[in-house]
C-alpha cells in the first residue's frame, strides 16, 4: 500500500470523478501547480495507483440493459480448474466483474446482456459448458440503484 498525502488524495479523487481534466484544470481544482500535478500523476501511475483512463458507457443506451449476478460453483478447487475458470472469464467481454468468494459459492460474476434470452444463450452455450463449472445460480437485477466507480480514499 502506498502512503498518500492530502494532495495525492485530492488528485486521485478529482481524476476519478473526471478523467478528462486538463493538467491546468486539475492543478486549479486541487490547489497546486501544473508541474507538481504532472509529477505526482506520473508517480501514482508508476506505483500502480492510477491504472488507466477510460470513458464509462451507459450500458442500457447501447442495448446492454440486463445485469445478471451469477454465482458459480467449480467442480473442484484444483489449480487447473481455478486457472481454467479465471482465464475463461477474463476472455468473456460480457463478464464485467468476477469475484472469488468465500462461503457457499466459489465465484460471483456480473454479466451484461441485451435481454433474458441473450443471457440464457451465454449461460447454456458458454458458461455451463466450461469444464471447470459444476453449477451456477443467476439473479437478475431489476434496476441499478447505485453504480459507482470512485474508490473512497482512506484518510492517513
What was the pLDDT predicted at 119?
98
pTM metric for this prediction: 0.88
What was the pLDDT predicted at 68?
98
The position carrying cell 467481454 is: 93
What was the pLDDT predicted at 58?
94
Burial, 49: exposed, middle or buried (Cβ in 10 Å; 0-12, 13-18, 19+)?
A: middle
What was the pLDDT predicted at 131?
95
Is the separation of the CB atoms in 77 and 106 below 8 Å? yes
Summarised one tens digit per residue, pLDDT across range 40-59 is: 999 999 999 999 999 999 99
Q: Could you tell me the three cell numbers for 108? A: 460471483
What was the pLDDT predicted at 156?
67
What was the pLDDT predicted at 65?
95
Is the separation of the CB atoms in 66 and 116 below 8 Å? yes
What was the pLDDT predicted at 154?
83
Which domains are delineated in the chain?
A: 6-46 (1.10.10.10), 59-140 (3.30.70.920)
Residues in the chain with pLDDT < 50? none
Write down the mean pLDDT value for the chain: 96
What was the pLDDT predicted at 93?
97
Distance between CA atoms of residues 39 and 33, nearest Å: 10
Q: Could you tell me the three cell numbers for 6? A: 492530502
The position carrying cell 440503484 is: 145
Amino acid at each position: 500500500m502506498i502512503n498518500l498525502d492530502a494532495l495525492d488524495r485530492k488528485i486521485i479523487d478529482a481524476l476519478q470523478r473526471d478523467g478528462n481534466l486538463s493538467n491546468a484544470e486539475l492543478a486549479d481544482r486541487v490547489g497546486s501547480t501544473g508541474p507538481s500535478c504532472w509529477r505526482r500523476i506520473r508517480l501514482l501511475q508508476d506505483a500502480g495507483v492510477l491504472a488507466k483512463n477510460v470513458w464509462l458507457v451507459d450500458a442500457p443506451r447501447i442495448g446492454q440493459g440486463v445485469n445478471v449476478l451469477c454465482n458459480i460453483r467449480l467442480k473442484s478447487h484444483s489449480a487447473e480448474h481455478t486457472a481454467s475458470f479465471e482465464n475463461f472469464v477474463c476472455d468473456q467481454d460480457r463478464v464485467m466483474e468476477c469475484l472469488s468468494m468465500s462461503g457457499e459459492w466459489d465465484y460471483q460474476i456480473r454479466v451484461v446482456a441485451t435481454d433474458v434470452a441473450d443471457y440464457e444463450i451465454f449461460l447454456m452455450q458458454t458458461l455451463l459448458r466450461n469444464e471447470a463449472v459444476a453449477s451456477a445460480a443467476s439473479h437478475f437485477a431489476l434496476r441499478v440503484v447505485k453504480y459507482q466507480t470512485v474508490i473512497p480514499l482512506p484518510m492517513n
